[in-house]
Amino acid sequence: MRSFAWCVLGGIAALCISCGKDHRDLPTGFAYDPPPAPTNLVVTGGEELSTIRWSYPVPDRASIREFRVYEYFEAYDMIELISTTTDTVFVDSLLIGNLGYCYKVSAVDTSGFEGWRTGSVCAFVRSAR
d(CA 64, CA 50): 24
C-beta closer to other proteins: residue 102 or 117: 117
* Interface map 1-30 toward other proteins (x if CB under 8 A): xx-xx-xxx-xx-xxx-xx-xxxx-xx--x
Does 117 bind other proteins (CB under 8 A)? Our answer is yes
Helix or strand (DSSP H, E) at 16: helix 2-18
Minimum CB distance to other proteins, residue 78 (Å)? 14
Residue 20, φ and ψ in degrees, nearest 5: -90, -175
Which 8-state DSSP code applies to residue 27? P
- 78: Cα separation from own chain's centroid: 14
Minimum CB distance to other proteins, residue 14 (Å)? 6
Minimum CB distance to other proteins, residue 48 (Å)? 31
Closest CA to 38 of 2, 4, 88, 72: 88
Q: Which residues bind other proteins (CB under 8 A)?
A: 1-2, 4-5, 7-9, 11-12, 14-16, 18-19, 21-24, 26-27, 30, 32, 34, 106, 112-117
